[in-house]
């Protein structure tokens, strides 16, 4: 399938892949695809940033290459690594064969055969790909600097071998939870979108797609409850992922509608900090329930 021609088509494509995107997000994704620019998605955990890359890979369809970032992520884990054991063996073989030309040996051992491709290089070589660089904020600043060449020109320079350039530029999706500010240089090369919590209508639509078979009334109650909780003063607000988990948990418990008892028992699915759970449990949960019922 080729790249969609209009914003509406992009929105429909995402919807067909099970992702309910609002207008602004659909426009940004559309532009990223049309202009061939990386997409930089920032937002609270659990708002569906990573999911966009997965849906794009499934619907375009392209293979998904995923790079999970962490502190200390370096070249050999992210881009490529020389297979030293095979190189040493090649030298010995060349010696055994009586090869003495230093240049020839050098050319011989810095051959593409001895290069192990890691995610970034994998995304540039072979079939067109969707490259997901997940949680870039977890990597350290030197790694960001290394990314610049890939983001701007879709190529990697390997000193011993030369420059590897993508035949078809990959669709690049970068996500960040903002545990650290990502540098301006990376932002400038990307299209930026802040992925916010969805409004009630969109969240209900998401539940219809991700928790099918859930009674409509229960689904509406869940969404109303979560939306109220997000207005509160909690350390970690529940994301869409938590809403979906909660809906599935309630469905598994055969709940027909939200009741204070069920809410209290399943709060651990929605909130992940003890302080937050202690605050919401009991009276506060009952109050929110009463408010949403009204």
Partner 1 sequence: MALTPERDAARIIGAAEARAAAAGALPAGHLADNLLAFTRLLRRAGLPLGPGEAIAGLEALIEVDIADRRQVHAALRAVMVHRREHFELFDQAFQLFWRDPEAAAHAAAMALLDGPRPKEEKAPPAARRLAEAMGENRPKPKPPEAPPPRHDMTFTVSERERLQKMDFEAMSAAEIAAAKQEIRRLALPLDERRTRRFRADPAGPITDLRGTLRQSLRTGGEILDLARRRRVTRPPPLVALCDISGSMSRYAQILLHFLHAVANERDRVHSFLFGTRLTNITRQLRHRDPEVAFEMVSHIVPDWSGGTRIGESLALFNRLWARRVLGQGAVVLLITDGLDREGAKGLAEATERLRASCRRLIWLNPLLRFAGFQPKSQGARAMLPHVDEHRPVHNLDSLRALVAALSDRHAAQRGRMAA
Q: Please pick, from the candidates 179, 213, 252, 254, the single residue that binds partner 1 as defined by CB under 8 A.
A: 179
Number of residues that bind partner 1 (CB under 8 A): 51
The rounded distance, in Å, linking the Cα atoms of 190 and 199 is 26
Phi, psi for 80 (deg, rounded to 5): -160, 165
Cβ atoms of 271 and 280 within 8 Å: the answer is: yes
Q: Please pick, from the candidates 100, 213, 254, 294, the single residue that binds partner 1 as defined by CB under 8 A.
A: 100
| Tokens read off for 170 | 């990959």
| Tokens read off for 274 | 């003890």
68: contact with partner 1 by CB under 8 A: no
Q: Please pick, from the candidates 65, 69, 109, 223, the single residue that binds partner 1 as defined by CB under 8 A.
A: 109
Strand pairing category for 115-117 and 171-176 = unpaired
In the complex with partner 1, the residue whose CB is nearer, 38 or 119, is 38
Q: Please pick, from the candidates 177, 262, 266, 292, the single residue that binds partner 1 as defined by CB under 8 A.
A: 177
Q: Which residues of 8-45 are buried (b: 16+ CB within 10 A; e: fewer)?
A: eebbebbbebebbbeeebbbbbbbbbeeebbbbbbbbb
Strand pairing category for 39-43 and 191-195 = parallel
| Tokens read off for 203 | 């969240």
Residues 135-174 that bind partner 1 (CB under 8 A): 137-138, 140, 142, 160
In the complex with partner 1, the residue whose CB is nearer, 106 or 291, is 106
7: contact with partner 1 by CB under 8 A: yes
Least CB distance to partner 1 at residue 201 (A) = 16
In the complex with partner 1, the residue whose CB is nearer, 200 or 273, is 273
Angle formed at CA 186 by CA 182 and CA 189, multiple of 5 degrees = 145
In the complex with partner 1, the residue whose CB is nearer, 87 or 292, is 87
Cβ atoms of 19 and 51 within 8 Å: the answer is: yes
241: contact with partner 1 by CB under 8 A: no
The residues binding partner 1 (CB under 8 A) are 6-7, 23-24, 27-28, 30-32, 34-35, 37, 40, 42, 71-72, 74, 82, 84, 87-88, 91-92, 94-95, 100, 102, 105-106, 109, 137-138, 140, 142, 160, 177-181, 184, 187-188, 190-194, 233, 235, 275
């Amino acid at each position: 399938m080729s790249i969609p021609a209009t914003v509406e088509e992009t929105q429909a494509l995402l919807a067909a892949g099970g992702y309910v995107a609002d207008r602004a997000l659909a426009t940004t994704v559309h532009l990223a695809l049309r202009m061939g620019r990386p997409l930089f998605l920032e937002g609270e955990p659990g708002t569906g940033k990573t999911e966009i890359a997965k849906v794009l890979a499934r619907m375009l369809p392209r293979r998904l290459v995923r790079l999970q970032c962490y502190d200390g992520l370096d070249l050999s884990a992210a881009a490529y690594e020389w297979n030293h054991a095979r190189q040493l063996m090649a030298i010995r073989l060349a010696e055994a064969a009586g090869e003495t030309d230093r240049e020839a040996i050098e050319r011989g051992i810095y051959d593409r055969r001895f290069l192990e491709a890691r995610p970034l290089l994998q995304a540039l070589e072979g079939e067109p790909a969707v490259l997901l660089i997940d949680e870039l904020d977890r990597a350290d600043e030197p790694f960001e600097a290394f990314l610049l060449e890939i983001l701007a020109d879709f190529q990697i320079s390997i000193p011993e071998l030369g420059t590897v350039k993508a035949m078809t530029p990959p669709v690049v999706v970068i996500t960040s939870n903002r545990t650290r500010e990502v540098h301006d240089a990376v932002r400038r090369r990307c299209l930026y979108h802040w992925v916010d919590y969805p409004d009630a209508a969109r969240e209900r639509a998401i539940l219809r797609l991700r928790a099918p078979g859930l009674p409509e009334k229960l689904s509406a109650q869940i969404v109303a409850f979560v939306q109220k909780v997000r207005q509160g003063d909690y350390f970690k607000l529940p994301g869409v992922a938590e809403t979906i988990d909660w809906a599935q948990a309630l469905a598994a418990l055969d709940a027909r509608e939200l009741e204070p008892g069920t809410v209290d028992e399943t709060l651990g699915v929605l909130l992940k900090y003890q302080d937050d759970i202690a605050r919401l449990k009991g009276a506060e949960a009952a109050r929110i329930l009463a408010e949403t019922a009204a």
